Structures are given as structure tokens and as C-alpha cells.
Structure 1
Amino acid sequence: MAEANGNGLDGAPLRVAALGDIHVREGQDPGPLRALFAEIAQSADVLVLAGDLTDTGSPKEAELLAEQLRAASLPLIGVLGNHDYECGKVDEVKHILCNAGLKLLDGSSCEVNGVGFVGVKGFPGGFGARMLGAFGEPAIKTFVSESIAEAMQLENAMRTVKTGRSLVVLHYAPVPETVEGEPREIYPFLGSSRLAETIDRFEVDAIVHGHAHRGSYEGRTPRGCPVYNVAWAIPKPTGRPYALLEI
């Protein structure tokens, strides 16, 4: 990735609305979400969804969300979250959401108006010197291997981005600052520094993630890249469930 400064040298700033942890479930009133997407379409150029799009990962929940997404009149980009895997129907969920126009990033990238979007779901593992290491029982090694594999997918995807401006989309947190407010005992299950270590090898404008419903809105990677927790419940400068960023 070329150096990115978000100053519009590659074009006008792209307005990105970012939102995570929608948790669409059966039986809920679709009206508020439809109205929110319509509102976002008036103020943003792209909508980014940072995982946990459904509550249990059922195809029915995915269809309910797809109905709302089809009404959104702007590009849609996102990643899945842990809840989207719960029912074991993730391939069906992906198919439904992609048919509704959502570009799902799973170790992949895309470009909108000169801005590169790259993403993975991510995985837990802990932060800094307290990251879990691949030592001991096979189950621990398998857990850490999954965390490393997600970081490697992210790195491979980032190498494909050729634009001067870029946004990384995750579900799990890459830094501890944006999970502050959650019980400290569950920090290792909310994200992993391996994600930030990977991202900091590149020049990136911003990172968005979800998952930590009681976390904090803003943090930075060790190299200084801004990180935004855009989970629905997190208070944001917009005063709305979504963040609005200019890239």
C-alpha cells in the first residue's frame, strides 16, 4: 500500500459509514434498520459492516438482513463476526448476503472510488506481552494457529491493495484500547495484537471493528493508525449507531 493521508490527493475524501454488531434476529421490527440504512445513504458514500450481522447465523436471519440491504442505495462492504458462524450455516449466510449486494471480505480486498478496503473476521488471542502462545496442549496450539492464520490472511490481502488510501475492516479488536470498558477477564477473547502487528507493516488510514459492545470508541495501533470500535452500542461522535469517517 502506498502512503495514505486521507487528504484527497487521489480524489475527493470518501465518506464511510461504519457499523458493527447489528445482530438481526427473527421477529424484530425491520422498520428501524431500514430507516437507518436510508439515513446512512444520505450522508455516506459507502456502508461498512463490521461483523455479527446476524444473531445466531441462521439463513432466516440473513434473509431478513438481506431485505434491508437491498433497499440501501450505496456500496456495501463487510466482514462476518463470530455470531454469524453459530448455526454452522455460514456458507448459506454468505451466499444470501452477497446476493443482496454485500461485498464480504474474508482475507480479500476491494476498491471504491480510489479507496482500498481490506478485511478479515479476525480471532481472539489477547494483547501485547500477554498474547496467548502456541505452547502446551494441542487445543491451545489449535486456538493460536487460528489467530495466526487470520493475521496471515489479512497480510496477504493487504499486499493486493494498490490504492493510496485504505481502510481495514475487522470484527475482532486489534488493540486493547477499544475494548476498555469490558471486563478485563474477557480481554483475550475480544481480539488480538497479531492483527495490529500485521496492519502496522503497511500505511493505512483507519481500522474499524466491532465485537466489544461495552468497549471504547477510539484507539491507536502501536504505529499510530487510528482504530474505531463501531459496534452498535458504542457511543459515537455522530450520536447515531454508526460512525462516519472521511478517507
Structure 2
Amino acid sequence: MEETKRTRIAAVADIHVKETDKGKWVNWFKEISKQADVVLICGDLTDTGDEVEAQVLSEELKSCTVPVVGVLGNHDYEKGRHKLIRQIVQNEKVHILNGESVVVAGVGFAGVKGFGGGFDNHMLSMFGEGAMKAFVQEAVDEALHLDRALARLDGDYPTIKKIAVLHYSPIKATVVGEPEAIFPFLGSSRLAEPLARRGVIAAFHGHAHVGTLEGEAAGGVKVFNVAKPILQKAGYTLPFYMFEV
């Protein structure tokens, strides 16, 4: 019986490309292309949310010969130019998801930036001032967008294996290492709710630079914090995490 081909996914987050980074990522993308079938970039593509940084990244990505799937992060929103950044980076081989899904190399990817709000029994609730309700609503909306993206994969490809691509964390375990006082700004358990319900096999995120590499959401969903500083600290010479589906 012929063995089913496995899809090799290389994941990283928080690459924070700067205007001065021209040429810095060429060899990294060339090497990653040799080892992976798909590259995930889980937010904070740029350092200050500037379109010049996005143009640098777009040029560097020309060295990548495999498809790229990504989401934007909070740094990409810093100057309100997130739509422009997405437009600059995205092309027929680079998919920047915002509540959407895409099938690449036989795997379904659903992506959102996500948002904060806290975890488990310490999740913020929809109560109090309008500003606080708006904060919570943002996390609710992001979770709904993720659920809808996964639902579309279910509808169009009912047997496909699904991966969630996020910037903010869906679980507490992968932000442990950061100061506990800032946990509410690093992710939200609301993002975890669609993962088990939609049969996601793994979720990747970043944002928490001194968090924890691996964790697990309800339903046994594997969660990986692939922030570049975490991978470097863990001894990855070329900072990307390999996952086979």
C-alpha cells in the first residue's frame, strides 16, 4: 500500500522586518524552501507597521519557492496601514488571511490576527464601560471570523486536515513565561473555542516573545507559539518550527 504523502509545514512568527533588512532573509527563505512544503508566518511581519518594511519583505519572499500562508500582527496595525501591508505582501503564492481560509498542499489553513481578553476563568466579560465592551467584542469578533473560516473548509473540503494560523494565543499555556499581569493582552480563550469544535489538528501563533513553545487546547488540539525569539532560545539555528501533517 502506497504511503500517503506528508505535508511539511515550517512555522515562525514575529519576524519584525525592518527597512534596513534588505538581503537579510534571502538565505533563510531559500533554506526553508528546501525543507518545507508550506511556510507559515504568524503575524508581526513588519516592525513598525510601515509599508516600506512590507516592500522589503515582499522582495525577500521572492527567494521562497514554496507557498506562504500568514496573518498580520499588532505591529502591522501600528500605523493603520495594515490593508496596504497586506496588499504589498500578498500575491499568488503568499496568502495573508484575515478571517479567510485557503487550501495549500492538501491542507486547509484558516487565519485571523486574534486579540486579547485573557484566559479561562480570567477572561474579560462583556460588562462595564463601552470601551471595555468594545475590547471584549474585538476578541469575540475574531473568534467568530476564525470559526467561519474553518466552517468554510468543512463545507468545501469535509475530510481535509485543518490548521489555524493566529497571532494572539488561544491558550494560556503558550504565553507562560511572560509577566502574568499582561496575559490579558497576549490572547484569549475565545480563540480556542472553534478549534476543537471544527476538528483543527494544530494552531500556530506568536506575539508572546518569552512564552512557551508548546501547549494544548481543549479537545487535544496542539498549539505552538512560534515567535522567533522563542525558537532562537530553544536552539533553532534557522528559526522555524517544523510540523508534519
Query: TM-score category by the smaller chain?
Result: over 0.9
Distance in 2 separating the partners of 1:37 and 1:74 = 9
Aligned to 1:103: 95
**CA distance in 2: counterparts of 1:99 and 1:110, whole angstroms:** 13
Structural mapping, 1:1-247, within 5 Å? 11-28=4-21, 30-99=22-91, 101-161=93-153, 162=157, 163-235=159-231, 236=234, 238-247=236-245
1:237 positional shift: 7.1
SS of residue in 1 equivalent to 2:115: coil
CA apart distance, 1:211: 0.3
TM-score computed with the length of structure 2 as normaliser: 0.93
Counterparts of 1:125 and 1:60, CA distance in 2: 31
How many residues align? The count is 238
CA shift, 1:87, in A, is: 1.0
> What residue ranges of structure 1 are gaps of 5+ in the alignment?
1-7
Letter in 1 for 2:179: P
For the residue of structure 2 that corresponds to 1:234, the secondary structure is helix
CA deviations on 1:14-60 (whole Å, 9 max, x unpaired) are 000001000011223x3331111111001000101000000111110
* Counterpart contact for 2:28–2:238, Cα < 8 Å: no
Q: Is the 8 A contact 1:54 1:61 kept in 2?
A: yes
- SS of 1:61's equivalent in the other structure is helix
Matching residue's letter, 1:21:
D
Give the root-mean-square deviation of aligned CA atoms: 1.6
Structure 2 unaligned spans of 5+ = none
TM-superposed CA distance for 1:239, in Å, is: 4.5
8 Å CA contact 1:219–1:226 kept in 2: the answer is yes
TM-score w.r.t. length of structure 1: 0.92
Tell me the percent identity: 47
In 2, Cα distance between the equivalents of 1:172 and 1:122? 5
